[in-house]
Structure 1
Amino acid sequence: MNKITGKMIFKPAFEYIDNGIEHGVLSPFETKETILKKGEQIAPGFKPLDCDIRFLKDVPVKMRDGITVYTDIFLPVTEEKVPTLIAWSPYGKSAGTAPRYVGLFNMLGMRNAWGSGLTKFEAPDPAYWVQHGYAVCNPDARGIANSEGDTTMIGSQEAEDCYDLIEWLAAQDWSNQKTALSGTSYLAFSQWFIAAGQPPHLTCISPTEGLQDAYRDLAYIGGIPDPNFLHRLQINHVSATGAKREDMVAEMEAYPLANCDLWEDKVADVSKITVPAYIVASYSNTLHTMGTFRSWRSISSSEKWLRIHDTQEWPDYYATESTEELRKFFDYYLLGKQNSWKKTPTVQYSILDFHGGNRTGLTAETFPPKESELQRYYMSGRTRTLQLTPNENELPLRYFPEALPCRVSFQTVFDKDTTFIGYPKVKLFMEVENADDMDVFVWVQKIDKLGNVLSEFVVPNRNAALQDFTQDGASALRYKGPSGRLRASARHLDPKLSTDEVPACSFDRVEKLSPKEIVALDIVLSPIGMTYYAGETLRVMISSKDEIGSVMPGTPGCIPNNKGVHILYTGGKYASYLQMPLMK
């Protein structure tokens, strides 16, 4: 195994229940080849197959250290050599019909009919891609199900394993020696790591919304520990071989700062990625947005495209229009088709308005567009407004984390339609009484002419249960506006990564606050594409609690550690402000 595994903390993997139900109807282990016939239905409610599919099941592939992983491969019934799409994740390779995923997509309003049931969670649907001349490879990663070894999570071990899988695939007699990576979420952020390893036969990638830095984007967002979603991810580490699994929650406690080998191994060096990349992002995904845009800015590929949609990653990834555009990208690079892909605009972006009037497919050469300029809105403690110039005299505002209201806010009403596209941030001058640290949460809202706070569901379902889940959480399913957070003791900016437009903290030290010490907090907010119409209000809220809430239903959000009194300074030499990317 990779040497970094010596730094990891391992626990027993969860039991793999191989009953043909828990992990999908195709899960029982058997190395074999069969033909899935056109018109066959894998499970009730799923789409019948559109063509015959050659199905290679539980194929053994040996890694460089001698352990064997097993993969399913779906192929066209043809003598022609074909390219391969790879879906790398710890999610079961046959779990497309697993009750947990069927239930999830039903809850979101997608239902089963969007796919064939052959689809690995968050991965390309083999039924579609095989029909169009592609192989689809769904591996069980190291330690998952019947694959040997111990499971690791995010980083170079997974990257090395997929490197070996890619090179094995390219050597198969049915392969045209071209491969690509595709998928959303885990299947997107694994792509940053795998492509950075530069496998010789990796032709191109298409990450749809995935984090890039496990410390900053997952475990310690803003330096505030958030183990709950990690708990949720790790229950997927199931083994039929008695494997162990990396426990990142335990590692959070053992390694609280980012400057150690373990966390540095979980930062994808996307500057090493040179293959063509078609990157898909949204403003609304509170888990993936920051990492996706950061990777877009830093990737070295000379041929790269960015598309920013206005929904959630799963309904967008499987939508017919999105799939057809993705196929045009893959057809060009993997099948050599001389289509119109190279005429695709470098950036396609969306502008949201929370009234059902979103504009999508807008084009630019860069993100943000060249017409976007940074505009500071200074916070006035006297009027609680946002102003273009700071007040001459400083005025501190106090709020109380252990009482209500536990926040302060500032507003501006626009007298004409105003659009923001790009990277917002806040710079806050703050002090804490009767404590030596504070967790600060920031939320930029849109308020209509009647004073109602606006938001937007990004999944098809809007029923009462989704209302319940998303009122105080499930932020990946209902977009409420840009947000950010920071623990004050983690405020030190990384001089190599940080810019005025996009501040970035180093998270390599703890700098507690002294009594009466006023500190500057530069807090990056999620990217925005939003129009405020004349008469509407922008409100920026500074709070002692996570107002946006958890990422997904049933999973608690982070738990702030706030006591004492928070003091926000405005005006004078401590002129706190909101910086917004204003379209001129």
Structure 2
Amino acid sequence: METRDDAVPGGMRIDWDVPIRMDDGAVLRADVFRPAADGRHPVIMTHGPYAKGLAFQEGYPGMWAPLAAKYPDATAGSSNRYQNWETVDPEKWVPEGYVCVRVDSRGAGRSPGLLDLLSPRETQDYYACVEWAGTQPWSNGKVGLLGISYYAMNQWQVAALRPPHLAAICPWEGAADLYREFARHGGILNTFTSVWFPVQVASVQHGVGERGARSPRTGEPVAGPGTLSDAERAARRTDTPAEMLSRPLDDDWYRDRSPELEKIDVPVLSAVNWAHHLHTRGGFEGYARAGSAAKWLEVHGNEHFAEFYTDYGVALQKRFFGHFLKGEDTGWHRQPPVLLNVRHVDGTFEGRPEQEWPLARTRWTELDLHLDSRSLSEKALTREERADFAATGEGLTLTTEPFPEETEITGPAAARLHVASTTTDADLFLTLRVLDPEGVDVTFVSGLDPAGVIGMGWLRASHRATDPGRSLPYRPWHPHDRVEPLTPGTAVPLDIEIWPTSVVVPAGHRLALTVTGRDFELPGSGPWPQVHGVPMKGHGIFLHNDPVDRPTEVFGGTTTLLSGPDHPSHLLLPYVPRVPRPPV
């Protein structure tokens, strides 16, 4: 079915539910938004499970309202009639000569079949969709991929398969390692998937039909046609949360759903949020490991759903795709390899071009853990110290002295801790915080939490083995391929990755490291904002509280930190000299 929207400058044709046949006979459905004038145009594509016909405003009102209120430029210049969660607005792309294609992945929305998220079959389908789009009469043969979160994660996947008509990708805030970034932080189950899956995926699985939402544009069920029973739909999907719970080690199931980044050869713009506990690490790893000769990194802050839609984000995207899909002189040849929006404690950002990541001028600094004084210091500890804490309690917080001058911390961080437990295992949660001169937390807008911290690292002690061939001083690599239980009371060294961060700490403020055996929570009694019914207390909805994964008899003991000449424990930080630079 085709409709037209002549209110869009130049006019727009919309083909609803276009069939795309897969090699096994399955048919996926796509909505195609294209210029009214005949011709061949570059394609911007997404493919995923969130239902192409579900209006952003109706499906995600809790995100749409703050986006429209706080970032008015994100919704300006468009009627917003075709807005869809985490995909581009056709009204901002079609008038500039692009075709926008949204595909419901197999088993989702209007596409029947087995719903198996991020599976090899789903990635093969995406490959077929790219090739279909690259050979249509309205296509110039160049397909670009652009979307957030899931629509970024699967870009990494399909790009590694090298579809011939894929010309460029822009994964905006997307994980690249299903085990380490999405399912299990440091080997600890992230319960996000069990919250997200029923609300955002199963709710729009193909077959929800008449019991679900309707497209405000076509009037058709966004997850139809046809209405299946709960039992029928359950039989037609993989239970992703259950799979992740049942698979504590990084096995073939995870590896089949994680891309071989080194095989990517198309131009890449990896856009990263400093504070998203699913996606931050993947954006940096994707940039570093992608085999592409032409690749760029951009890092920003604010809410997960903000900069993708703002004038800043859209302009960056158009400069990138205009260069690689249309051959236009957008100035992209002058784009620095790395563009950082460095965070300040007042909520502002300092845009700064760089030539590499991590920054070559980084002054890597080890701060010893002085446990008796609860302090962090470059001064080496000369005697042995130890401190105990209840694994389910508030943990230990160690702080620097007030910084004598403005200090920038930008880059990946890490810690080496010597740890013992009264049980056979322990989960370690490391939280980096900024404290003002009165000792009060300075909080930062993060991906999904309006009051987040500046850095986080996790590790299950029984997963402490590292791979020397893949580890870096600032990014230890854990294979997560075996369990090595602790001997109660015996200390072991743990190398813990802390995801990349950035903050300029003013003079008089302090940096704090909090070590806990459970998810950190900001001090105070709330009230806390909620997403999907989960109170956000500093880490959004990215929690690690599944009782099956973390039984109390194993993870509810007493944890001991040791530090000193025989048990060197330290925090490694990326201090960056403050050099005034012209704005970007």
TM-score range, shorter chain: 0.7 to 0.9
1:37 alignment partner in structure 2: 6
1:341–1:121 CA distance, 2 compared to 1 (3 A): same
The letter for the 2-side match of 1:358 is F
Contact kept? 2:397, 2:512, Cα under 8 Å: no
Match of 1:412 among 401, 404, 423: 401
1:382 is paired with a residue whose SS is coil
1:158 is paired with a residue whose SS is helix
Match of 2:143 among 179, 190, 199: 179
Give the whole-Å Cα distance in 2 for the aligned partners of 1:312 and 1:328: 23
1:401 alignment partner in structure 2: 391
Match of 2:30 among 71, 76, 85: 71
Contact kept? 1:284, 1:481, Cα under 8 Å: yes
Match of 2:89 among 115, 125, 135: 125
The letter for the 2-side match of 1:576 is S
1:526 is paired with a residue whose SS is strand
2:206 counterpart of 1:239? yes
Q: Give the aligned CA root-mean-square deviation in angstroms.
A: 2.0
1:481–1:458 CA distance, 2 compared to 1 (3 A): closer
Quote the offset at 1:338 in angstroms.
Answer: 2.5
Quote the offset at 1:548 in angstroms.
Answer: 5.2
The letter for the 2-side match of 1:572 is P
Matching of residues 179-328 of structure 1 within 5 Å: 179-235=143-199, 236-237=201-202, 238-240=205-207, 242=228, 244-258=236-250, 260-328=251-319
Matching of residues 8-27 of structure 1 within 5 Å: none
1:153 alignment partner in structure 2: 117
Contact kept? 1:381, 1:571, Cα under 8 Å: no
1:10 alignment partner in structure 2: none
Where do 5+ consecutive residues of structure 2 fail to align? 208-225, 523-528, 535-540, 578-584
Give the whole-Å Cα distance in 1 for the aligned partners of 2:265 and 2:34: 28
2:533 counterpart of 1:554? yes
Quote the offset at 1:234 in angstroms.
Answer: 4.5
Q: Deviations over 1:47-72 (max 9, x none)?
A: xx444210111111101111100100
Q: Deviations over 1:60-102 (max 9, x none)?
A: 1101111100100000011221011001221111112562223
Match of 2:558 among 553, 557, 565: 565
Q: Percent identity?
A: 27
Contact kept? 1:143, 1:151, Cα under 8 Å: yes
Q: Say how many residue pairs are matched.
A: 524
The letter for the 2-side match of 1:70 is R
1:107–1:418 CA distance, 2 compared to 1 (3 A): closer
1:383–1:253 CA distance, 2 compared to 1 (3 A): closer
2:572 alignment partner in structure 1: 579
Name whichever of 547-556 and 228-237 sits farther off.
547-556
Give the whole-Å Cα distance in 2 for the aligned partners of 1:458 and 1:432: 32
1:457 alignment partner in structure 2: 445
1:402–1:342 CA distance, 2 compared to 1 (3 A): closer
Give the whole-Å Cα distance in 2 for the aligned partners of 1:80 and 1:100: 34
Where do 5+ consecutive residues of structure 1 fail to align? 1-31, 39-48, 460-473
Q: Deviations over 1:286-320 (max 9, x none)?
A: 22101111111111111111111122232101111
Give the whole-Å Cα distance in 1 for the aligned partners of 2:60 and 2:107: 21
The letter for the 2-side match of 1:153 is L
Give the whole-Å Cα distance in 1 for the aligned partners of 2:120 and 2:451: 33
Match of 1:515 among 488, 513, 517: 488
Q: Deviations over 1:201-238 (max 9, x none)?
A: 00000111101111111111111112343441344131
Match of 1:437 among 416, 422, 425: 425
Match of 1:489 among 442, 462, 478: 462
Contact kept? 1:155, 1:193, Cα under 8 Å: no
Quote the offset at 1:356 in angstroms.
Answer: 3.5
2:504 alignment partner in structure 1: 531
2:480 counterpart of 1:480? no
Give the whole-Å Cα distance in 2 for the aligned partners of 1:510 and 1:198: 36
The letter for the 1-side match of 2:459 is L
Contact kept? 1:412, 1:539, Cα under 8 Å: no
What TM-score, normalized to structure 2?
Answer: 0.86
Give the whole-Å Cα distance in 1 for the aligned partners of 2:383 and 2:428: 24
1:420 is paired with a residue whose SS is strand
Q: Deviations over 1:129-158 (max 9, x none)?
A: 101000000111101133122111114222
2:413 counterpart of 1:424? yes
2:312 is paired with a residue whose SS is helix
Contact kept? 1:92, 1:145, Cα under 8 Å: yes
2:49 is paired with a residue whose SS is coil
Quote the offset at 1:255 in angstroms.
Answer: 2.4
Q: Deviations over 1:386-428 (max 9, x none)?
A: 121321111111112345x433434332112211111111111
Quote the offset at 1:192 in angstroms.
Answer: 0.3
Give the whole-Å Cα distance in 1 for the aligned partners of 2:40 and 2:451: 43
1:294–1:423 CA distance, 2 compared to 1 (3 A): same
Contact kept? 1:490, 1:505, Cα under 8 Å: yes
Contact kept? 1:400, 1:407, Cα under 8 Å: no
1:410–1:566 CA distance, 2 compared to 1 (3 A): farther
The letter for the 2-side match of 1:88 is H
Matching of residues 349-364 of structure 1 within 5 Å: 349-360=340-351, 362-364=352-354
Quote the offset at 1:552 in angstroms.
Answer: 4.8
Contact kept? 2:195, 2:532, Cα under 8 Å: no
Q: Deviations over 1:300-353 (max 9, x none)?
A: 111111111122232101111221121111111111113311111111102212
Give the whole-Å Cα distance in 2 for the aligned partners of 1:532 and 1:113: 33
Quote the offset at 1:384 in angstroms.
Answer: 1.8
Contact kept? 1:378, 1:577, Cα under 8 Å: yes
What TM-score, normalized to structure 1?
Answer: 0.86
1:95 is paired with a residue whose SS is coil
Contact kept? 1:84, 1:135, Cα under 8 Å: yes
